[in-house]
Chain A
Amino acid sequence: MADVLVCIKRVPDSSSQVVLTDDAQAVDGRYAGFTMSPHEECAVELAVQITGATGGEAAVLTLGDAEAVEQLRSALAVGASAATLVETDASKLGPADVAREIASVVRAHEADGTGHDLVLLGNDAADSGDFQVGIRLAYELGRPVVNGAKVVTVEGDTVTAKVDGPEGVETYQVPLPAVVTIREGGVEPRYPSVPGRMKAKKVAIEERTLSAEPSGPKRVKLTLPPPVPSNVQILGEGAAAAPAVVDLFEELGVLR
């Protein structure tokens, strides 16, 4: 039996234009809408599969504002059974703060008898892109960490993780308790069922506050890259453009 905690983050949807907040400290998602980081959707799916196979519990955790409950509920709707919100302004936390807060929740749950054998996180958040929270968490907890796994299975006290490495698919086998960060692509996140959504609405969300004063990100400010003026050369419209396209292929030397 393996109990799994998935750490998720409410991030602005990456399918639209980026707008910054007035204080230039965060991406303003008010117009684009919010979602869970794509890597984490896969982490939730893996957690549901692992707990389904081993008979454990899948829990989710987020650090964010009260609205981040929406992302917790979407994880509950696909099979997680418990959720924790540490209510805070996530833009005021640096990666080391986030790791420390997650560790604090993991220890508190351990003390309550609801500990987590395996903690899953996304490989990197779709907004802040720090690429380090899972690794810092592993050091906080004194656990081994596998980074960027696409496939994760648990058998007994051993977690097997597969990572697309520079030389091929790498296999790791580490003892529980452990931390694994997930990259999208190894599993397909399931869609929530209607009963799943109904059930998710009824789950009581555990609410916590920060365990320590954050040291903060070392961010001075965010900026948007200067707009690149469009220099596109239109080769034509519809099928009639084909000769111009093949001329271009010849010019670029890509026709073999």
Chain B
Amino acid sequence: MILTLVEKDLEGAAVDVSLEALTFAAQLSAEGGGVPVDAVVVDGIGDELRKELAAYGVRHVYVVGGEAVAAYSGAGWASAILSVREQSKAVVVMAAGTDRGNELMAHVAARAGVAMAANVLTFHGLAPFTVTRQVVGGAALEEMTLDQRPAVFTVAGHAVEARAAETPGPADVVEVSPEIAAKDLVARVVSVDQVESDESGGLKSAKVVVGAGRGAGGPDGFKDILELTDLLGAALGVSRVVTAAGWRPHHEQVGQTGSRISPDLYIPCGISGAIQHWAGCSSAKHILAINTDPEAPMVTRATYAVIGDLHEVVPAINEEIRRRRS
């Protein structure tokens, strides 16, 4: 059996990357001759989500409930996932490569005494089970064997395209309330403050992101870029150079140590495209780079580019947008 953790958004729907993880699980299942795919959901499930999991071919949905899992704790939730693993006899335990997915799978692997592979892109062969995963923020790949049981890993964002199964599954709900030891609840969320998270929340889900890097030149170099952001109803994302210099706050950072974005259009202005930054923006559907250097990695990897200084190009774009609107 393959057990996949499904994470929910604030409305109780499956997050996109969890659907990608289920698609990856279905591919693994097909390779393994139709091994059933089960899902584990923590703290409740709505009818919509259950139907969606059915469409993705899920056999059983283990819904972990009880007071012990109502607030998040890495050790507590992992303990519950391992109880489900016992019940489902899973030989694979997997999740999407989100912050939480990576954290929980690390707990699961440490508790089970097995290896864990973070951010897997593909698998090759089942005996031994070998995977390829992203390292160095996706700039290099690591081939790794997962020869222990359970095989524990997370699936990198956009490793596969989420696709419903050809044959829907029953998605039978199995309610479980496993016993969780007090020591696993010591590091537990005591409160959630929803105000500040909106700052980068908009960036992560924005359809258009305007980026700014070293080319902005200083803390006062963002006026035109902010105007373009406004004209397009976009979010602003900046490179690490910009936040490290203190020109803009860290929550606007896109990159390996900032937000990972996947907009329809990303417009990096004056960003060279170092690994650190590319790791955060490579999932953008279209990239329009504005840069003085035609050889900059951001330009050569972009879909479209304008060669020039952002301080000349961006005001001209803003002017053109205003002209067409009037």
Contact = CB atoms under 8 A, between A and B. Distances in A.
Contacts of B233: 256
Contacts of B145: 218, 220
Query: Which of B111, B193, B274, B306 counts the most chain A CB atoms within 10 A?
Result: B306
Contacts of B288: 235, 245, 248
A254 B264 CA distance: 9
A51 B15 CA distance: 40
A240 B307 CA distance: 10
Contact of B144 (A146, A219, A240): A219
B313 interface: yes
Nearest to B106: A132
B256 A126 contact: yes
A198 interface: no
Nearest to A129: B135
B10 A145 contact: no
Nearest to B191: A171
B320 A132 contact: no
A83 to B, nearest CB: 24
A96 B110 CA distance: 8
| Residue among A138, A185, A245 having the largest count of chain B Cβ atoms under 10 Å | A245
Contacts of B119: 129, 131
B143 interface: yes
B107 interface: yes
Contact of B116 (A15, A132, A184, A234): A132
A129 B118 contact: yes
Interface in B60-74: 72, 74
Contacts of A232: 289, 299-305
Contact of B275 (A15, A168, A170): A15
Contact of A238 (B134, B313, B324): B313
A220 B201 CA distance: 37
Interface residues of B, number: 98
Interface stretch (A69-77, A108-116, A172-180, A204-212): A172-180
Contacts of A174: 186-187
A36 to B, nearest CB: 12
B187 A144 contact: yes
Nearest to A229: B300
A237 interface: yes
B80 interface: no
Contacts of B51: none
Contacts of A238: 306-309, 312-313, 316
Interface residues of A, number: 81
Nearest to A123: B99
B250 interface: yes
Given A168-B196, A238-B309, A255 B187 contact: no
B302 A166 contact: no
Question: For A124, A219, A239, which residue has the most chain B Cβ atoms within 10 angstroms?
Answer: A239
Interface string B238-257: 00100100100011010011
A225 B299 contact: no
A194 interface: no
A237 B306 contact: yes
B136 A241 contact: no
B190 A172 contact: yes
Interface string A11-52: 010111010100000010000000000110000000000000
B187 A172 contact: yes
Contact of A135 (B74, B132, B312, B320): B74
Contact of B240 (A38, A94, A139, A235): A38
A130 interface: yes
B98 to A, nearest CB: 8
Interface centre among B98, B251, B316 (most CB of A within 10 A): B316
Contacts of A188: 246
A187 to B, nearest CB: 10
A213 interface: no
Contacts of A55: none
A185 B250 contact: yes
Given A135-B103, A167-B10, A222-B141, A246 B317 contact: yes
B110 A242 contact: no
Given A14-B256, A148-B103, A183-B257, A249 B307 contact: no
Contacts of B103: 131, 135, 147-148
Given A169-B195, A171-B192, 6 more contacts: A131-B119, A164-B99, A224-B140, A225-B140, A235-B304, A244-B306
Closest 9 CB pairs of A and B: A132-B106, A239-B316, A168-B194, A242-B316, A185-B250, A238-B308, A144-B187, A220-B143, A131-B102
Interface of A: 12, 14-16, 18, 20, 27, 38-39, 94-96, 99, 124, 126-132, 135-136, 138-139, 144-148, 164-175, 178, 183-186, 188, 217-225, 228, 230-246, 248-249, 252, 254-256
14 contacts: A38-B256, A38-B276, A124-B118, A135-B103, A144-B186, A147-B103, A148-B103, A165-B72, A218-B145, A222-B142, A230-B300, A233-B305, A241-B308, A242-B317
Interface of B: 7, 9-10, 15, 72, 74-75, 98-100, 102-103, 105-107, 109-111, 115-119, 130, 132-147, 154, 183, 186-197, 200, 207-208, 232-234, 240, 243, 246, 250-251, 253, 256-258, 264-265, 274-276, 286, 288-289, 294, 299-309, 312-313, 315-317, 319-321, 324
